[in-house]
Amino acid sequence: MKGCKKFILLSACALLLAACGKEVVDSRQIDVNDGLAYKHGLDDPYTGIVSFKGFDSMPEAIKNYWITNENFGLQGWLQVAVSAQVDCDVSYTKGLANGPVKCTNPSGDTLLTAAIADERFDGSSTIRNPLTGKLFAELNWKAGNRDGKQLYYAADGETVIEEVHYASGQKDGREIERSTSGDVLTDGIWGQGKPVSGKIRTKTDRDLTAVATFVDGTLDGPATIYGYKDQPPAVGSFKKGMRDGPWTDNQASSGGWRGDIYQNNQAFNSVFGTEGSLTEKEIVNGFDQCKVFKSNWANGALQGPLECTAGNGTVVLSMTMDGSKIVGSFLYHDVITGTTTHLMQSDGKLVPADQVDTPATSPANNVAAGATTTQAAAATPPLPSAPPSTAALAAPAQSAAPPVVTSASTNVGTTAEAVRAEVAQTYQPGFDCAKAQSPAELTICADPLLSALDSDVAAQYHALAQQADPSQKGDLLSSQREYLAARNICKSDRACVERQTRSRLHDLRQQAARTPGVLIATLKSDHVSAP
């Protein structure tokens, strides 16, 4: 009888070991053939647990799962790979991963748990930071798809920063995002992978991140659209899926308009795009000074005041829009030259407003919110139809009888008015000295030779511009801007101003020599001696 009891006890122990005590082998004893795992020297696919020592030895499926679902960063994972502080035990059945997955650090702390069924993740899973051990996520899977509640934690491993529900791999149900301090950032409802209602973080049609308000699956309410790297967001509101009310669109925080930056600025596209009002390359090139567009919208179209400003807040453009059309004239301020003027469209061209034979529009219709009538009053003489960025490059003024040359003072330490009153000029420069402001401009106005040189630059520039095709005009304008910027750096240094002006004149005349009938035969500066 005692023998029978002993036999029964031993049999029970054997059965228990068979059920719970799976064989554990080192991954270095496993061969993989045709996608199946085999233990060295055996012909049957392996069933049991394989222990992988170090991150690099981990199966790609487990490695990718961890990397994909843990926002740890490349540098962090490189540190994990080098330190080799992660070991994983993966269950196999007949050569395929099947069953529990558990990863630990050398201290035995659990870093990852998951389960695999039919070669797909299935069931609950926890993921921790492999270096700190802090909890990162608690996920739920079904047949390889997210299914059920998903929780994500802050770096402290305790604060839930996102809670979202999935069904069959799609967001379905409530999603809440919080800051690390616990403040609610978004709170909305999803249905079959699409936003339904509330404040939701989503993607735009250009794959940009947006936090927007939805009503019945449609954009309706405040929205913030985040741009590319270093680009401030666009902020405004939607109504029934279309822009409505005030909007602020930002261009990149550094540099000019580049590449797909255009695509993220709907205000810019509506004015300067292929369907917009302003498509002349010359004027568009001038507007790369714009950093911020402030506009008003109705039913998805621009309606009312539009203003763009430079990085220092200076108004570059101020206009009134009706859809993609500009109402009346608009203010344009060239940041480089400090010139302000009004332009209008006439026969598809941009021309000075006072050259268009139409009733004048009121300042209220021409100046966007925030622009003052002072700016309009400061407008300089009109620009040519292809503005050269010096809005001041008017044709040289001719004098029937040149006044007598007095000694030219280069002392610009006095006020602009004093300098203008003190100096009688033989030649006018290529801009209106009555409106000169910068030290370089005042120096030119106070010097007969510099005035003549500047007049020659203006005349040669205009002669080239009249014969140039659109692409050549764009290049010509760009080089003119570079020259003006370099000249302004000279300030009141007469020698520097003369050097820059002569260099520009030389470059322009070299270009003109390659085009018949463009090179100016007589230069005014040839008949004026240096002081």
What mean pLDDT is predicted for residues 84-95? Answer: 89
According to the model, what pLDDT value does residue 439 have?
87
Residue 108: CB atoms within 10 A of its CB come to 7
Does residue 280 carry a pLDDT above 80?
no
pLDDT for the residue numbered 366: 37
pLDDT tens, residue by residue, 132-188: 889 999 999 999 999 999 999 998 999 999 999 999 999 999 999 999 999 999 999
**Do residues 455 and 427 make contact, with C-beta atoms less than 8 angstroms apart?**
yes
How large is the average pLDDT for residues 209-234?
Answer: 88
- Model pLDDT, residue 222: 96
pLDDT per residue as tens digits for the range 381-408 = 222 222 222 222 222 333 333 333 333 3
Kindly tell me if the per-residue pLDDT of 431 is higher than 50. Answer: yes
The total of other beta-carbon atoms located within 10 Å of residue 470's CB is: 11
Name 184's bridge partners.
Answer: 178
Cβ–Cβ under 8 Å, residues 162 and 147: no
Rounded to the nearest 10 degrees, what angle do helices 470-490 and 494-513 cross at?
A: 160
- The pLDDT > 70 percentage for the chain reads 69
Q: Which two tokens stand for residue 459?
A: 């005349």
The pLDDT of residue 205: 66
Contact yes or no for 25/74 (Cβ under 8 A): no
Give tens-digit pLDDT for 17-52. Answer: 334 557 899 999 999 999 999 999 999 999 999 999
Better pLDDT: 51 or 347: 51
| H/E run at residue 309 | strand 301-309
Q: How far apart are CA 455 and CA 458, in angstroms?
A: 5
The predicted pLDDT at position 436 comes to 80
Domains with residue ranges and CATH for the chain: 22-146 (no CATH), 204-387 (2.20.110.10), 416-527 (no CATH)
Q: Which of 196, 164, 78, 65 is nearest to 119 (CA)?
A: 65
Residues counted in the chain: 531
Give the whole-angstrom CA distance, residue 429 versus residue 302: 41
Residue type, 278: L
What is the DSSP code string of 429-458? -SS-GGG--SHHHHHHHT-HHHHHHHHHHH
What pLDDT was estimated at residue 8? 42
CA dihedral 319→323→326→328, nearest 10 degrees, is -90
CA–CA distance, 296 with 339 (Å, rounded to integer): 26
Structure tokens at 468: 């140039």
Top pLDDT among 148 and 77 is at 148
Mean pLDDT of 512-531: 79
* DSSP character at residue 369: T
Q: What value does the mean pLDDT take over residues 455-481? A: 83
Mean pLDDT in residue range 182-205: 93
Higher pLDDT, 204 or 7: 204
pLDDT band at residue 443 using 50, 70 and 90 as cut-offs:
very high
User: Higher pLDDT residue, 79 or 296?
Assistant: 296
**pLDDT grade for 82, boundaries at 50, 70 and 90:** low
Calpha distance 219→242 (Å, rounded):
7
Flag whether pLDDT at 417 surpasses 70.
no
β-bridge pairing 24-26 and 48-53: parallel
How far apart CA 30 and CA 13 sit, in angstroms, is 29
Q: In sequence order, what E strands does 118-193 have?
A: 120-121, 123-128, 135-142, 145-146, 148-153, 160-167, 170-178, 184-191
Question: Residue 32's beta-bridge partner residues?
Answer: 37
Q: In this predicted model, which residue has the larger pLDDT, 515 or 449?
A: 449
Single-letter code of the amino acid located at 389: S
Confidence check: pLDDT of 480 > 80: yes
Q: Give the single-character DSSP code of 402.
A: P
**Strand 123-128 versus strand 135-142 pairing type:** antiparallel
